[in-house]
Amino acid sequence: MPQSSDIYERIYDIVRQIPEGHVTTYGAIAQAIGSRSGARLVGWALNAVALSDRTDIPCHRVVNRLGELSGKMHFETPFVMRERLEAEGVTFSGEAVDMKKHLWVPPIAG
């Protein structure tokens, strides 16, 4: 089994690939790394970034399967995540990202 830091780096590599103006989900990232039930692991990896000074990983582009900003509490304020997404042109329907318009699905690792 790979070390958690190796898995985290695989997660971060995928997050870096999310195009500006798009989002993906914790579950889609988990599936891309071959862990269908690893959405929580993806959340832990992104939380580790939020607690560090790394700015090279656009964590604000990862949302839950409904397009909700479930990670917003891990940013400087609860509004930063949405502000960053809106600055990139991401649109919302209420509190959720318009997933039909902005969802990006990462390729499955082979």
Q: Which residues are catalytic?
A: 59
- Cβ distance 80 to 60 under 8 Å? yes
Q: Beta strand pairing status for 92-93 and 96-97?
A: antiparallel
Interior CA angle at 8 toward 97 and 89, to 5°? 25
- Cβ distance 65 to 42 under 8 Å? no
Interior CA angle at 7 toward 65 and 88, to 5°? 45
